[in-house]
Amino acid sequence: TQLLEQSPQFLSIQEGENLTVYCNSSSVFSSLQWYRQEPGEGPVLLVTVVTGGEVKKLKRLTFQFGDARKDSSLHITAAQPGDTGLYLCAGARRTDSWGKLQFGAGTQVVVTP
């Protein structure tokens, strides 16, 4: 059973459309992070959210952390082909003193011109 559930698993959209990716859990996290991964490479951090209800914007990307710190979403406005990649959410649970980072299964996003 995945600690962090991501949905959808796969998303294919046209350039210019909007998309939202969700990351949900029954556990409370001290922080949640979003990464993007290109094929054959390691994931690269996009953002870290720490405070419940927090909203962060990174150009066309908007990240939200749920009030209860159990879920998060990533919204991309006017998607571009360069946004194509595997989007992963990751979190460290409050009960985990070692700061282990657990990952969701990922959402594969494909943006076609």
Residues within the interface to another protein (CB under 8 A):
2, 6, 30-31, 33, 40-45, 48, 50, 86, 88, 90, 92, 98-106, 108
Burial of 62 (0-12, 13-18, 19+ CB in 10 A): middle
Q: In 3D, which of 87, 74, 83, 90 has the Cα closest to residue 110?
A: 83
Residue 77 or residue 110: which is nearer to another protein going by CB?
110
CB of 112 to another protein, least distance (A): 17
Residue 22 or residue 103: which is nearer to another protein going by CB?
103
Residue 73 or residue 78: which is nearer to another protein going by CB?
73
CB of 2 to another protein, least distance (A): 7
CB of 101 to another protein, least distance (A): 5
Q: Find where tokens 């796969």 sit.
A: 10
CA pair distance 16, 97, nearest whole angstrom: 42
Residue 44 or residue 68: which is nearer to another protein going by CB?
44
Q: In 3D, which of 102, 95, 110, 96 has the Cα closest to residue 8?
A: 110
CB of 10 to another protein, least distance (A): 9
- Residue 70 is given by DSSP the state S
